[in-house]
């Protein structure tokens, strides 16, 4: 069957948003709202898979919503809401917990990274996280999900869950008169020069909210001075920039900074190297800092203004939740019948 093209994505309110979240996800959400039905969620239920102080969670939830809007997402066009206001996410996640296999969850590299050696002691929610993520996406029968490269494995698992549900319940789906492909096999949208932004301190580690070093990331609320200082101090090798893309291989820090420049300038890495190849860091870093400040500082101002206006932000989230809830309830009604729950 052909599904209505629909885009869904979400970000956890689990700390300070950073340049990786912006370039890998939020910036790419914006143009899609003009070509697709779009649903952008603040996934607060995912955030509590690791401990969050309730007041911090409220603040961070509003901050992610503010970032969406400050980046250019129009909440009248796109649906913007926080996950916990649409209870069907939790309901479908439970059904998917009974579809997915435990072994699938243990194989997730994000779980292995986050649980580390402590895997017996982390929350059950952290293990089941990808099942809730599948519910987020499939509740809206989303056909495309723009994400950073780190989420690719979770997207593959979403596809596996959709396929297994469609298969396990094939007879019941047919008996309800529904299409055999009840859930779509969602496509990840992972593209551009910034699918995985790396730490400014270590080009082999992902830029991340949970990195203990504030110097490792550019936060979306950093002021111009902080942005410039962090770029100036970013770890690099002593060589000048190469003239060609091949020259970036084996130079993760250089590759990362060129990728950041390319993404912010809406250019390819090759075009950036055509301009800066052969030049040293003393030329490139100030140019990158100027570009980053020019793009990020106005957004940070707008985010601060929006976050301070909690009445407006909360009203946007409530309105989004109502619109999302109407779609979610349609899907859940079908799922309840397919599974055999009496209503």
Residues near ligand AQP (CB under 6 A):
11-12, 14-15, 20-21, 24-25, 147-148, 150-151, 196-197, 206-210
Q: Is 141 designated active site?
A: no
Angle of helix 281-308 relative to helix 252-265, nearest 10 degrees? 60
CB of 175 to ligand AQP, least distance (A): 37
Q: Which of 114, 152, 164, 229 is catalytic?
A: 114
CB of 27 to ligand AQP, least distance (A): 10
Q: What are phi and psi of 220, to 5 degrees?
A: -70, -15
Q: Which of 209, 230, 269, 285 is catalytic?
A: 209
> Which lies closer to ligand AQP via its Cβ, residue 126 or residue 332?
126
> Which lies closer to ligand AQP via its Cβ, residue 37 or residue 150?
150
* Dihedral angle of Cα 67, 252, 107, 140, to the nearest 10 degrees: 30
Angle of helix 269-276 relative to helix 281-308, nearest 10 degrees? 130
**DSSP class of residue 180?**
S
Q: Which of 141, 206, 269, 285 is catalytic?
A: 206
Q: What tokens appear for 158 in the block?
A: 């979403």
CB of 33 to ligand AQP, least distance (A): 16
- For 289-308, b/e burial (b = at least 16 CB within 10 A) is beebbebbeebbebbeebbe
CB of 14 to ligand AQP, least distance (A): 5
Rg of the Cα trace of the chain?
Answer: 21
> Which lies closer to ligand AQP via its Cβ, residue 25 or residue 313?
25
Q: Is 285 designated active site?
A: no
> Which lies closer to ligand AQP via its Cβ, residue 14 or residue 131?
14
Helix ranges (H only) for 40-169 are: 44-47, 54-71, 88-97, 102-106, 109-115, 124-138, 152-168
**Strand boundaries in the chain, DSSP class E:** 6-11, 37-42, 79-82, 144-146, 187-189
Q: Is 112 designated active site?
A: no
* Dihedral angle of Cα 60, 65, 69, 74, to the nearest 10 degrees: 180
C-alpha distances (whole Å) from 177 to each of 173, 181, 182, 217 are: 7, 12, 11, 51
CB of 170 to ligand AQP, least distance (A): 32
CB of 127 to ligand AQP, least distance (A): 15
> Which lies closer to ligand AQP via its Cβ, residue 15 or residue 130?
15
> Which lies closer to ligand AQP via its Cβ, residue 47 or residue 95?
47
Residues with catalytic roles:
114, 206, 209
């Amino acid at each position: 069957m052909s599904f209505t093209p629909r885009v869904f994505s979400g970000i956890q309110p689990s700390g300070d948003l950073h340049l990786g979240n912006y370039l890998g996800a939020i910036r790419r959400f914006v143009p899609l709202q003009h070509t697709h039905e779009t649903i952008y969620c603040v996934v607060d239920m995912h955030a509590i898979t690791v401990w969050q102080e309730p007041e911090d969670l409220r603040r961070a939830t509003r901050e992610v919503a503010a970032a969406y809007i400050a980046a250019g997402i129009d909440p009248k066009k796109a649906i913007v809401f926080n996950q916990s206001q649409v209870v069907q996410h939790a309901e479908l996640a439970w059904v998917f917990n009974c579809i997915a296999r435990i072994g699938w969850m243990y194989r997730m590299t994000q779980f292995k990274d986050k649980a580390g050696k402590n895997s017996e002691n982390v929350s059950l929610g952290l293990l089941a996280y990808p099942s809730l993520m599948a519910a987020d996406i499939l509740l809206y029968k989303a056909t495309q999900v723009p994400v950073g490269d780190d989420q690719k494995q979770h997207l593959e698992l979403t596809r596996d869950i959709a396929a297994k549900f469609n298969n396990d319940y094939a007879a019941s789906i047919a008996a309800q008169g529904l299409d055999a492909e009840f859930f779509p096999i969602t496509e990840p949208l992972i593209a551009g020069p910034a699918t995985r932004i790396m730490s400014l301190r270590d080009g082999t580690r992902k830029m991340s909210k949970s990195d203990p070093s504030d110097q490792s990331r550019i936060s979306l609320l950093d002021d111009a001075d902080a942005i410039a200082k962090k770029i100036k101090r970013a770890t690099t090798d002593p060589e000048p920039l190469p003239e060609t893309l091949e020259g970036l291989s084996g130079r993760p820090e250089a590759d990362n900074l060129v990728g950041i420049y390319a993404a912010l300038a809406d250019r390819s890495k090759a075009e950036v190297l055509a301009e800066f190849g052969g030049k040293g860091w003393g030329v490139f870093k100030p140019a990158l800092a100027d570009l980053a400040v020019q793009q990020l500082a106005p957004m940070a101002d707008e985010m601060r203004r929006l976050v301070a206006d909690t009445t407006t932000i909360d009203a946007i989230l409530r309105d989004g939740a109502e619109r999302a809830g109407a779609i979610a309830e349609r899907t859940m009604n079908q799922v309840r019948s397919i599974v055999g729950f009496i209503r």
